[in-house]
Structure formats: structure tokens, C-alpha cells
Chains A and B, each alone.
Chain A
Amino acid sequence: MQNVFDTRNNPQLAWAGIALVAATLLVLPFALTYAGTFWVRITNQAILYCFLALGLNIVVGFAGLLDLGYIAFYAVGAYVYALLASPHFDLHLPFWVILPIGAAVACLFGVLLGAPTLKLRGDYLAIVTLGFGEIIRIFLNNLSQPVNITNGPQGIATIDPFRLRTFNFSQRETILGLDFTGPVKYYYFFLAALIAVIVINMRLQDSRIGRAWEAIREDETAARAMGINTRNIKLLAFAMGASFGGIAGGMFAATQQFISPESFILVESVMVLAMVVLGGMGNIWGVVLGAVLLSFVPEILRFTVEPVQKALFGRMLLEPEVIRMLLFGMALVGMMLYRPAGILPSALRKRELEGGKT
């Protein structure tokens, strides 16, 4: 992948490759609509998972802080959006106001989680973050009494979609002779946002801040002795990661138009972490690949497992869900055996695990 898109050594091939990818991404929603609008929705969800995986990658991949409760920030962003743009409190702020608020609130929660865990590492940090994720979910589940804030397990419904003056993201309309359904509109918005997030991540990684994160990951004591304020730099990692989660949460609430605490269970945190690890911790393209794979494969299985079994055995032997977990487990075991640094490992992880040459 790196070789194909090497703009310096092979500009023609690289730009042709980039143009091809861009064209594919532009046409993709229409091709998918052909197969069913459902697939566009899945693609949008996959982009949101890319957001989450990239955000978690800052904490886990760059700074080396294991976070098992990351989905809490997604929940915070989603609930901020839902509360400020739904009939629940009868507030209807525009999305471009709420998304930054969601990011800021999630950022605050990131610092809130980061502050007491500054001295923890590895397993202990994982346990506290796991607890944090559950605490947020349980709060959301129970904050319906005595004052009804989150509407408890019923969740919040009829959340506003993104609206820009008269342009409504959830309505179907024809622009320039092309049929834009709601999910297709969201797709372009999400794609643009994802590209921005990828650029931000790449720039952060290759900067003074990114190097400070790597230093903490490698040796915290030495990092401090070199004058790095480890407290601030760690909190920054938590805050940045949480902000991306918060923005993704707002987008999630707007597309689903309904959220409840059930969307933010522990398994979701584990999934996002699996995306980061499977794709290649610390490598931005690896993380994106991991997120795309883990979002699409289960959906593809959902549509293929039943017909295949019917054709082979004449009846259903295994539920798609069972097969999914089976494959998922096998994939992870295979990964650990053959590509422990992920599908597209970061240069750093590769060196670390292989102890290889440069």
C-alpha cells in the first residue's frame, strides 16, 4: 500500500491510484444503493467505527494507554446530541453547534477519566477504564429519576437529523439529476469528516506532541527526565481520543434518530479495540482497514450464511450470529499467530515484535 501511493518516487502511479480510490469512494454510495439502501447505512456505520478506532488509536496506539471503556465517549457525544436536538427537552440546536459541544463534553469526560488514572499502567488502567465505561452506561440507564434527563432504558427517540437551512440530510431529493437518499447524503458528509480526521491523526503522529506520546509509551521515567510533562501529555491523549469519540457519537445519534444505553455496551468497546489491534496498532491506515473489515464482515455473513447453509444442507444448522463469533475468534487467534502486529503494522510495532532490522 505504501509503495503504490508513494507520491515522491512514483508520482504517476501514485496519483492514478489516488484518483482511482477517490472515484470509487465517490461512486460507491450509488453502487450500494443499487444493492439496497441498507448497504449505504452499513457503510456509514463503518465510517463511524473508523472515527472511533482512530480516536482510540491515539490513546492505545500512540500513547500506549490501554482503554477498555472507550465507547463511553461515543455515548456521551450521542447523548449530548440527542438532548440538544430532540423533543425530549424540546431543544433543536443546529448540528454544527452541537457537534463541537459534544466533542468538548466528551473531551471533559476524557480528562475526568484520565486524571485519576495517571499513575496506572497496563492491566490496572484497563480495569479502571472498563469500570468507567460501565459507569457511564449505568448512569445513562438510570438518570430518568428523580429528574428525567436521559429517559432511562427507553432511550431518546425522534432525534433531529442534520439540517442546514432547507437542506435536510434525512430527506430524499434529486440534485443534478441524481437521486440522493438520506444515507447517501450522510455518506458524503461522513466521508469528508473521516478524511479530515485521518489528516489530523497523521499530522499529530508526526509532531512534537506525537513524539512525546511515543516517548511515554516507550519509557515514562526517561520521558519525564527529558522534560516531558507526562501528566499533561497523557491527559491530552485521553482528551483528543475522547473528542473524536464524542463527534462520532453525535453523528451516530443523528443518523439513527434513536439512541438508548444498549448501543453503548462493553462489547462495543471491545469491538473498537479489536479494530485497532486487528488493523495494526499505531498505524492509521491499518486502523481504518481494521474498522472497515470488522464492520462489513458481520453484515456480509448475515446475508450469506443462511442461503449457503440452505443450499448445502437444505436447512439452517448454525445461526449467523454463532458463525460470526466463531470466525471472529478464529481470526483473532490466527492474527496472534501469524501477524501479531496487525494486518498493516506500524513501523514501530513491527520492529518491536520482530526485533528485526531497519
Chain B
Amino acid sequence: MSKLALLAAKGIDKRFGGVQALSDVAFTINHGEIYGLIGPNGAGKTSLFNVLTGIYVPDGGEFVFDGEPLRGLKPNDVAARGIARTFQNIRLFANLSALENVMIGRHVRTHAGVWGAISRNAGTRAEEAAIHKRAYELLEYVGVEKRAHSLAKHLAYGDQRRLEIARALATEPKLLALDEPAAGMNATETTSLKNLLAEIRRDGTTILLIEHDMKLVMSVCDRVLVLDYGKKIAEDTAAVVQNDPKVVAAYLGGEVSLNLKGTH
């Protein structure tokens, strides 16, 4: 693959019993891109996420991330390699504060063990201070620093989504994988999410984005992968993809042809 590629997937297969969730999916994500992943419900988007992040083991194919294959890695190893994710149904540590949530995200990049915790030596104290500082900075970055000491479960819905992004960013990912971050957001929240995504990209993190909000996808993504019934039906720039007859058919069904120009 070209040296631009951060993540390359080849021939990804995943079956659940008789259901072929993913078949022969291939794509590449370049450094610094915002890469969209769309498709109708049940197309296999979240399955692809789970296979990528090590929650499921693929039945075939492989991912090459940052020049090295991601083979047989557990979710925590994948996170250590530099892929952080959020979840479609928010999975924060509900009974911990917003700040603690982000501090836990620092776990994978810090080292203090049992002895450090018990002895509280200079190194551990410095690391703890750094964790605290970085976590607070990330809360400011996503804009929920005012709720730093509130429990995650008491945050407004949009803030929970942002907190999940902050927690993922705390792991210093090269690729940030977001599973429907705009779901349930109103127009204002979606606009500020869009700005946040642009800012994260500007600061050097590549983004993989599953999203149903077409307006958001079309305005923020450089390229888009479209899945339908576990198969890739298109991979191209947003403008090209939305005029692809196969994509239109997947979303609207059958042979209907519609002029989607001007929908955004």
C-alpha cells in the first residue's frame, strides 16, 4: 500500500452462524483523513468496528495498521497500538466522574504498578500529576471541563458523547474510531461535533466515522466507504458516492432512481 495509508483492510470476513456479517471487505484509510463508513441498518458497520478493535476475531482477511498487521490482538493491545474507539450505545464508566473517565483513558500510556502505587515515589507522583493535568486538558478540548467532577451518568447526552471522545483521545490514538457520535444529537450539537472532528483532524489524528447523519458525513468526510449486507458497494469521495446508483439503491431499495443533488 502507499505510504499514505494508515490502515489497510484486505478481504475481511466475519460470520455469525449462518449470517455473513462481513464478506471480503477491503479499504484503506490515509493519514490525516476523516473517513466515513456508511450503510443501511444491519450493513455490518459496527461488526467491522468490532473486528477492527479486536472484540471479534475475523474469519478471514487482515488489517495492516501503521505498517504492521493487527493479527490476533486483544482489544487492549489494539488500543495500545493506537486505535481508540467510542461505542454506539455510550459506554462510559457511569459512576465515575468525567475527569476519572478520562484519567482511565491514560492507563495505557502510563506505567505505575503496584509498587509505585504503594510507595508513592517521586516518579509515580509526577505521573499522577501529569495524568490529572492531561485529563483536564482533554475535557477542555472537547468542552465539558465544567462538568469535570460530575458523574458521567449525570452529564447531558451530547456531553456524554463528547466525554467518550475525550476518553478515547486520552489513549493517544493514531486512529480515532467513532461509532455514530451524532446519534441523538440536535442540530446545534451536531454542528459543534463537526467542528470538534475538524479540530481533532487538524491536530493530527485520523478519524474513522460511522454515521447515519448524511449531512454530517457529506460535509466532513474526505472519503466514504459504503457497506450493504456486509459487502463493500462503494468507496470514494463523498460527492461521488452519493450519486452512485448502487448506493442510492441500497438506501432506497430496488430500482428507484432519485436525484439526490441538493440534499445538502
Contacts and interface: CB of A to CB of B under 8 A. Distances in A.
B114 A225 contact: no
B167 to A, nearest CB: 7
A228 B112 CA distance: 13
Contacts of B249: none
Contacts of A224: 55, 74-76, 79
B76 A228 contact: yes
A65 B102 CA distance: 23
B108 interface: yes
A228 B108 CA distance: 6
A5 B106 CA distance: 32
Q: Which 6 A-B pairs have the closest CB atoms?
A: A227-B108, A227-B79, A207-B117, A218-B93, A222-B91, A224-B75
Contact of B114 (A218, A221, A240, A351): A240
Contacts of A351: 95, 151
5 contacts: A200-B118, A214-B96, A223-B104, A352-B95, A358-B149
Given A204-B117, A208-B112, A214-B100, 18 more contacts: A203-B120, A207-B112, A208-B127, A208-B128, A211-B107, A219-B91, A222-B87, A224-B79, A225-B55, A225-B76, A226-B104, A226-B107, A227-B80, A227-B84, A228-B76, A228-B107, A351-B95, A357-B154
- Residues of B in contact with A, size category: 35 or more
Given A224-B76, A227-B80, A352-B95, A207 B87 contact: no
Contacts of B181: none
Interface string B162-180: 0000011011000000000
Contacts of A210: 117
B210 interface: no
B94 A226 contact: no
Given A211-B100, A358-B150, A222 B79 contact: no
B107 A358 contact: no
Contacts of B114: 204, 209, 236, 240
A207 B132 CA distance: 11
B131 interface: yes
A357 B153 CA distance: 11
B254 interface: no
B126 to A, nearest CB: 13
Contacts of B75: 221, 224-225
B55 A348 contact: no
Nearest to A353: B95
